[in-house]
Amino acid sequence: MTSTSVDFGLVLNLHQPPGNLDELLSEREWEAKEILWALDRIPRSLWPYEDVGRVHLSLSGTLLETLADPCFQERTYGIVDCGSLLWQLQNTRTIEVLGGAYYHPVLPLIPPADHEQQIGRWLGLGRHLFWRDFRGFWPPELGFCMDLVPTLSRHGYGWVIVDSEHVQPLTPMSWQELRYRPHRASIGGAEIVVVVRDRDLSNAQESGMEAGWFIDEVRARTQHCDFPPLVTTATDGDNGGWFRNTTAASNFWGGFYTELVERVRVGQAGGIRPALISDYLDRHGAHGWVTVDPGAWNTGAHDGAGFIQWTGSTAQRGALARVAQLSDAVHAAADAINGDAAASELLEQARWRLLRAQTSCNFYWGEAWVPRCHHDLDAAAAQLDQALRTRHA
């Protein structure tokens, strides 16, 4: 039996490094405006299509922190009303917000002891701004390894998105089942549902595609499914000309999505219908068992295996090694300080700078941004030293 309907899970990743939008507003104002308009365009494009429009958004903690900052809101009020934007993103009918890690690190590359802080801090801000729990998790840069499963499960996440190239079946399954059906993954007694991102279709989404082509391609890929397929695509939603272009007919929303949902409305989308992944899971559940190899999504010339984009040079590896060393020192100091108020405050200053140093962008651009990592690590080390001296005074 061949499935006649296809659920389409659209995922957009939205991230800006700490202070980046403020810096762009001062130095490259038009670029900052393009980014802000790209963000604001998301809920505006969905308003006329509440009946059929559905999207999942991953927003990094640093981006949410910026958008929620009253000073930034005042500075950008004539460009985008950031307060209203955050309010509009609470529309649970059309938008499912995914949990993440606050400073957008590649989680498998940072010390496991810091996973708790990165994930927990995002949840604190996300719950404050959106007043909800979060079922789905977006690993920054789709950087995933099985060791993350217990932490995600402990924080209440039921499912996680991973890239199709790293999923290995443990239960016999077809090519279509592997990509277009959620599965279960387990390690150490902890379990989570794995939602598979179709890399090929995501590549098309990133570079620009037409609704007709997308419909034909999805139907061809799912024609032999004897189960209700879930086709998941995931890309950045605020980077690149396809998303930033201010001409409606030439960007993702005007050039692709509007036509798709118009066709869905009149039953001319080949049975494809945008859906929220959590709703799909409520209806159809997950089937089969998989394991996921360590890896990230594809970036330019890199396929995500081995995290080469973030570890390819001596400088990148050296900075990551220093992150690990300072993390050990901060966690050891927390045990030693144990309740001293003044020292604990200084230690907290060291901790958030350590976490910010782990931002993926510090390693993504080859060696160009590695000094930013060291800048935060220098500040963290100084605060840590002062905390320990305060404790022993």
The total number of structural domains in the chain stands at 2
- Same domain for 207 and 169, yes or no, is yes
- What pLDDT is stored for residue 3 in this prediction? 60
* Domain span including residue 40: 6-292
Helix pair 211-222, 199-207: axis angle to 10 deg: 180
- Same domain for 214 and 320, yes or no, is no
- Same domain for 16 and 68, yes or no, is yes
- What pLDDT is stored for residue 334 in this prediction? 87
> Is residue 306 included in any domain, yes or no?
no
- What pLDDT is stored for residue 140 in this prediction? 98
Low-confidence stretches of the chain (pLDDT < 50) are 1
Please state, as a whole number, how many other Cβ atoms lie within 10 Å of the Cβ of residue 22.
17
| Conformational region of residue 184, where left means phi above 0, alpha means psi within -120 to 50, and beta covers everything else | beta
- Same domain for 238 and 359, yes or no, is no
Bridge partners, 184 (sequence order): 193, 289
* Per-position b or e across 275-314, b if 16+ CB within 10 A of its CB: bbbbebbeeeebebebebebbbbbeeeebbeebebbeeee
- Same domain for 356 and 386, yes or no, is yes
- What pLDDT is stored for residue 1 in this prediction? 44
> Is residue 50 included in any domain, yes or no?
yes
> Is residue 218 included in any domain, yes or no?
yes
> Is residue 298 included in any domain, yes or no?
no
* Per-position b or e across 213-244, b if 16+ CB within 10 A of its CB: ebbebbbebbeebeebbbbbbbbbbbbbebbb
- Same domain for 270 and 205, yes or no, is yes
- Same domain for 134 and 252, yes or no, is yes
Bridge partners, 387 (sequence order): none
- Same domain for 156 and 11, yes or no, is yes
Amino acid (one-letter) located at 359 = T
Please answer whether residues 16 and 65 qualify as being in contact, where contact means their C-beta atoms are separated by less than 8 angstroms.
no
Among 244, 262, 292, residue at a domain's last position: 292
- What pLDDT is stored for residue 392 in this prediction? 67
- Same domain for 323 and 358, yes or no, is yes
- Same domain for 193 and 56, yes or no, is yes
Nearest to 15 by CA among 243, 210, 207: 243
Rg of the chain (C-alpha set): 21
The 8-class DSSP code of residue 299 comes to B
Has this prediction a pTM greater than 0.85?
Answer: yes
- Same domain for 227 and 349, yes or no, is no
> Is residue 92 included in any domain, yes or no?
yes
> Is residue 181 included in any domain, yes or no?
yes
Q: What's the rounded Cα separation, in Å, for the pair 287 and 228? A: 11
> Is residue 301 included in any domain, yes or no?
no
- Same domain for 132 and 273, yes or no, is yes
> Is residue 300 included in any domain, yes or no?
no
Nearest to 10 by CA among 94, 66, 107: 94
